[in-house]
């Protein structure tokens, strides 16, 4: 498995539209670069890139992809090598083929502010959880 | 356990602190509803420790050591275990800063609150290391 160096993670964050956190006045100055990315459904991704040192190990890289960046290795390297930002339609969980979302549920999700593109790939259980979350925040 | 109205609590705050430090929780609110609790920090830390343990995962590579902290989904790296521990302490502190600022409202981060609070309650790097790795000889790195 191809593994990245810190520069590759930095490049991914830039291509994927992450925002680098500035050290707030009066607060601790970090030795890391802290990056966050807001997703339309309310999720916020977080990663911190430590300075120095070479390639990441395979087990750690796999965890960074899954938990922090929420992309596949292929999406990661496409962003780093070709500058193509990943799409994350599958992070809600795949919808089984032939199982449509109930109309009322889709309508309420859109009314609650979920962008239409985010409906793709939503299963019913995840859609209901997301709706409850969006309505609770309103 | 003592219930205080907000106005009484404001006037007699030192009494609340004194009683809380002796282990008696002080509930404060408007009307009959308790809105905040003043409690002994060590007791809260103990309760959180029992409910939210950390289980860091170590990956030893030829060129160094990497540690993944599944509960906060952060990592540390270094050429030695001690360096990786120190780096993870830094990453955990970075995380709780970001968590306090914006992450705690996010649906994919909210479940980390118990573990994030444990790090917040540790008042210096050595204590954070103890929280993450336990109080073993040779660690935490200071």
pLDDT digits (tens, 9 = 90+) for A118-137: 777 677 778 888 888 888 87
Verify whether the Cβ–Cβ distance B106 to A30 is below 8 Å: no
Task: Kindly state whether B98 is in contact with chain A, defined as any CB-CB distance less than 8 angstroms.
Answer: yes
Which residues in chain B are contacts of A20 at CB distance < 8 A?
none
Q: Which of B89, B90, B84 is nearest to B54 (CA)?
A: B89
The chain-wide mean pLDDT, for chain A, equals 84
Q: Give yes or no for a contact between B94 and B73, defined as CB atoms under 8 angstroms apart.
A: no
Mutate: best of A36, A57, A133, partner B, most B CBs <10 A: A57
Write down the H helix ranges in B12-40. 13-21
Determine whether B46 is exposed, middle or buried from the number of CB atoms within 10 Å of its CB (0-12, 13-18, 19+): exposed
Q: What integer is the mean pLDDT of B12-22?
A: 93
Task: Report the distance separating Cα A94 and Cα A40, nearest Å.
Answer: 18
Report the residue from B77, B94, B109 with minimal CB separation from A44: B109
A28 touches chain B (CB under 8 A): yes
Q: Name the packing angle between helices B113-121 and B125-133 (round to 10°).
A: 140
CB A46 within 8 A of CB B109: yes
Task: Specify whether the backbone of B33 is left (phi greater than 0), alpha (psi in -120 to 50) or beta.
Answer: beta
Query: Is it the case that residue A90 has pLDDT exceeding 50?
Result: no
Structure tokens at B71: 């509960």
A20 touches chain B (CB under 8 A): no
Tell me how far apart the alpha carbons of residues A14 and A23 are, in angstroms, rounded to a whole number.
18
pLDDT digits (tens, 9 = 90+) for B47-103: 999 999 999 999 987 778 999 999 999 999 999 999 999 999 999 999 999 999 899
What is the distance between the alpha carbons of residues B81 and B67, in angstroms, rounded to a whole number?
8
Contact status of B104 with chain A (Cβ, < 8 Å): no
For A131, which residue in chain B has the nearest alpha carbon?
B107
3-state helix, strand, coil in chain B (%, to 5): 50, 20, 30
Element (H, E) at A30: none
Q: How confident is the model at residue B125 (pLDDT cuts 50, 70, 90)?
A: very high
Mutate to test the interface with A, among B67, B84, B94, B115 (most CBs of A within 10 A): B94
Please name the residues in contact with A60: beta carbons below 8 A apart, sequence gap of 6 or more. Answer: B59, B66, B68, B75, B77
Complex confidence, ipTM: 0.85
User: B130, exposed or middle or buried, with CB in 10 Å at 0-12, 13-18, 19+?
Assistant: middle
Kindly report the pTM of this predicted structure.
Answer: 0.76
B115 vs B80: CA distance, rounded Å: 25
Does A100 lie at the interface with B, CB-CB under 8 angstroms?
Answer: no
User: Does the beta carbon of B45 lie under 8 angstroms from any beta carbon of chain A?
Assistant: no
Per-residue model confidence (pLDDT) at position A51:
72
């Amino acid at each position: 498995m191809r593994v990245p160096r810190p520069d590759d993670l930095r490049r991914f964050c830039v291509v994927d539209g992450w925002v680098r956190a500035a050290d707030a006045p009066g607060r601790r100055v970090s030795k890391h670069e802290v990056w966050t990315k807001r997703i339309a459904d309310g999720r916020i991704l977080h990663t911190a890139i430590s300075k120095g040192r070479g390639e990441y190990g395979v087990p750690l890289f796999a965890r960074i992809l899954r938990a922090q960046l929420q992309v596949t290795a292929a999406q990661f390297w496409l962003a780093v090598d070709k500058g193509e930002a990943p799409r994350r339609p599958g992070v809600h969980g795949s919808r089984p083929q032939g199982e449509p979302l109930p109309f009322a549920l889709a309508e309420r999700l859109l009314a609650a502010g979920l962008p239409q593109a985010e409906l793709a790939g939503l299963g019913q259980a995840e859609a209901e959880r997301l709706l409850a979350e969006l309505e609770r925040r309103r | 356990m003592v219930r205080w109205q907000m106005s009484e609590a404001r006037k007699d705050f030192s009494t609340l602190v004194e009683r809380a430090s002796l282990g008696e929780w002080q509930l404060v609110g408007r009307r009959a509803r308790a809105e905040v609790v003043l409690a002994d920090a060590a007791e809260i830390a103990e309760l959180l420790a029992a409910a939210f343990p950390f289980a860091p995962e170590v990956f030893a590579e030829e060129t160094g050591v990497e540690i993944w902290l599944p509960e906060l989904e952060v990592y540390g790296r270094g050429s030695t275990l001690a360096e990786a521990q120190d780096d993870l302490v830094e990453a955990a502190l970075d995380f709780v800063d970001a968590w306090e600022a914006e992450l705690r409202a996010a649906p994919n981060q909210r479940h980390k609150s118990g573990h994030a609070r444990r790090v917040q309650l540790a008042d210096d790097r050595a204590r954070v290391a103890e929280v993450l790795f336990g109080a073993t000889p040779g660690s935490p790195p200071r």
